[in-house]
Amino acid sequence: MSKGKRDTYTSEFKFKVAIEAMSGDKTLAQLASEYHVHPSQITKWKEQLKGSASAVFGSPSRRKKKETITEASLMEKAGRLTVEVDWLKKNRWNWG
């Protein structure tokens, strides 16, 4: 007997269920029955929402730093590291 295909849920659905779970108006059992989802799955979605919510209000400067990495800067760093490795190979006997 083969198992059925796993259900997939949209991010909007997960968000809606997690928000309702966080509100505390209904129990996990009530939400699970209403949305036909296992209570442990709702708990996971709720924890994911809690963990990622701070990123929404994170400082924009941190996000911009990650985006400014360019191919030119990576090539420059690779070149510097290559020079350092070559220097270390030449001078390895001077290390005592």
Written as six digits, the tokens of 59 are: 């400082």
Q: What is the pLDDT of residues 37-66, one digit of tens each?
A: 999 999 999 998 888 887 777 766 555 555
How much is the pLDDT for 6? 82
Q: What is the dihedral of CA 44, 45, 48, 50, to 10 degrees?
A: -110
**What pLDDT, in 10s, does the model give residues 64-73?**
555 677 888 8
CA separation for the pair 79, 46 (Å, rounded): 45
Where are the domains positioned within the chain? 11-57+67-95
DSSP symbol at 6: P
Cα angle, residue 18 at apex, residues 10 and 51 outer, rounded to 5°: 100
DSSP annotation of 66: H
Instruction: Give the three-state DSSP class for 13.
Output: helix
Specify the pLDDT at position 95: 62
